Amino acid sequence: MPKRDEAYMEAQRLMIARAALDVLLEKGVYATSLRDICKAAGISIGALYTHFRTKEEAIVAACALDYVDTTKEPPAESWAEYLENTYRKENWGRAGDQRSKRFRLSLQFVAELTQFDHNPEGLSTIYQIYRGALSSSLTRLHEKGIITMPLGLAQTTELHMQLIAGSSYQLAADRDLQIEPVNEALAVGLALTAGLVVAEAGLAEAS
């Protein structure tokens, strides 16, 4: 039997991760078994374990694909575009749509992670992908003079990640909340921490 090269193994890993993502988005973390993933990928349990040692590693690979897919846009060229990308990436959908399924997957996996004392392999990469996307946009906006970034790039990026995550969880936890007021409050928080030039984006009207 010919030896499988690195490119083949990577292609197989990506194929399994794609199949896992499809199943996880449809069924959620708790209802998805390894056999479900294998069936979707058309492989055996043994073949899956060749690429992933645990179910958590397969989930991380699937989530990484989803984050890569949703962070391919070039850096924002305006504050309005930055906000638009932020709202879209955070998957603030309502029950049943694809965005809500993505967010459900994130919440369920975070719940599982509370039982671990370390990140499963590859999870830190997901955070770095998202952090990098925010950082690139903030850098571009600063270069264009749209934001002053008084706290510096690293601190502003971290603050924005926390503000965005907090708004997401708030909307997920309270289904009586309207999305628009939460987004408006988030926009003000992002603008203040980024040092938005008021004349460029009309922060006075937003606040």
Q: What string of pLDDT tens digits covers the 207 residues of the chain?
A: 445 688 889 999 999 999 999 999 999 999 999 999 999 999 999 999 999 988 889 998 988 887 766 566 789 999 999 998 887 655 455 566 777 788 788 888 888 888 888 888 888 888 888 899 899 999 999 999 999 999 999 999 999 999 998 988 888 788 788 888 988 999 999 999 999 997 555 544 444
- In this structure, the answer to whether residues 111 and 91 fall within a common structural domain is yes
Pair (1, 101) in one structural domain: no
Of 187, 75, 188, 60, the closest CA to residue 139 belongs to: 75
Residues 80 and 147 reside in one and the same domain: yes
**Domain finish residue from 30, 62, 94:** 62
Tens of pLDDT along 29-76?
Answer: 999 999 999 999 999 999 999 999 888 899 989 888 877 665 667 899
- Rounded to whole angstroms, how far apart are CA atoms 135 and 140? 9
Based on the domain organization, do 46 and 113 belong to the same domain? no
Same structural domain, 119 and 88: yes
Maximum distance among all Cα pairs of the chain, rounded to whole angstroms? 69
**Residue that is last in its domain, among 11, 38, 62:** 62
Instruction: Assess whether 127 and 80 both reside in one domain.
Output: yes
The neighbour count for residue 68, using CB atoms within 10 Å, is 13
Alpha-carbon span 32 to 88, nearest angstrom: 26
Domain boundary among 62, 90, 107: 62
Q: Are residues 134 and 55 in the same domain?
A: no
CATH number where 40 lies: 1.10.10.60
Alpha helices in the chain (DSSP H): 6-27, 34-41, 45-51, 55-70, 79-89, 98-113, 123-143, 153-173, 179-194, 198-201, 203-206
Do 140 and 169 fall within a single domain? Answer: yes
List Cβ neighbours of 120 (8 Å cut-off, separation of 6 or more): 54, 56, 57, 59, 60, 113
Tell me the CB-side half-sphere exposure of residue 93, using CA atoms within 13 A: 15
Alpha helices, H only, 119-202: 123-143, 153-173, 179-194, 198-201
Q: What's the number of domains the chain is made of? A: 2
31/107 same-domain check: no
Instruction: Assess whether 56 and 78 both reside in one domain.
Output: no
Range of the domain at 115: 71-206
Q: Do 92 and 39 share a structural domain?
A: no
- Predicted local confidence at residue 97, as pLDDT: 74
Give pLDDT, residue 92: 53
- Note whether 115 and 155 are same-domain residues: yes
